[in-house]
Amino acid sequence: MAESGPALLRLSDLIRRIAAAGRAPVLIEAEWGSGSGAIARAIHDQSPRSSAPFIAATCAALADHLEDELFGSDRGGGRGSDSGSEKRTALIDAAAGGTLFLDEVAEVPAVVQAKLARVLDHAVFRRCGGSTDLVSDARLVVATSHDLAAAVEAGRFRADLYHLLRSAVVTVPPLRSRPEDVLPFAEAELARCAKRIGKDAPKLSSRAKDALLAHRWPGNERELALAMERAAILTEVDITPEDLSLAEPRADGEPGALVIPPGERNLAVIETMVLRAVLRETGGQKTRASELLGINRTTLYNKLRAMGLR
């Protein structure tokens, strides 16, 4: 954070103060690619709970199994049940004394929303199919790239859970509103990538720097990190705008066009380009992206994980 601009320095101070708040739940509001997981981890690491487990889960990726995964099951065979050849620990149990981080909490189904509200209100929960109240000692940190207030108005998110989660709110400013952070982040990421692959870090030309500052970064730090990784791998000396492979700037509201380079026949490369284009179009909203792509959310998350786009 030493070379960060004032917005990130304020964010760092907010994280420090929220981390010290013990067990208070935390809501992280951030666009896709803004590092919600890293912020959640920083809150945990700077808190009195830092020596206890930090357990993270992406809600949409768990899909229909989320309730079982979070709370365990007394129905037999589920996570946390006593039957079956292998008993797996429910996530809320694994995070006891520590922090449970749920990414994209807007994707949580209604039945799980009700259980989370009860955890926050009374510090108790029941396993799926169970009738016994169990005590929870996990600090809940959640993140969303959606407008939760709008989701409450539309009836898709419980109002009580929304207000319980707003005990402490971290709103992450998008990278496009922090141009002072673009070049320091880019150069630090270039150095990290070059060290990882065992080569000298190439330099950003003045034209490349201008291109980085002109780009709107709909994928935020994640998009910038991927651009620097690509440049570090492919460039030997000075990085040019062409080496960055940034999407052409377009006016707000103008539909994006996917241009596949002539001669490109690698299906994995084309699929990655399509996923990036759709995520840019949806502002990182994965539910909408999965609808546009005609696949379910679990499939989308698996593809993003395999391609290193999460």
- List the chain residues with pLDDT less than 50: 1-2, 82-85, 250-255
**According to the model, what pLDDT value does residue 79 have?**
54
How much is the pLDDT for 248? 58
pLDDT number for residue 301 = 82
Fold of 6-171: Rossmann fold (3.40.50)
pLDDT of the residue at 89? 86
Return the pLDDT at 253.
42
Chain length of the chain? 310
pLDDT digits (tens, 9 = 90+) for 241-250: 988 888 655 4
* Whole-number pLDDT of residue 76: 63
Q: What whole-number distance in Å separates Cα of residue 247 and Cα of residue 269?
A: 15
Q: 242 is written with which tokens?
A: 């062409």
Number of H helices, E strands in the chain: 15, 9
pLDDT, position 262: 55
Q: Put residue 62 in one of left, alpha, beta given phi > 0 → left and psi -120 to 50 → alpha.
A: alpha
Domain ranges (residues) in the chain = 6-171, 179-246, 253-310
Question: What is the CATH code for 179-246?
Answer: 1.10.8.60
As a whole number of angstroms, the distance between CA 30 and CA 173 comes to 7
Q: Which CATH architecture has domain 253-310?
A: Orthogonal Bundle (1.10)
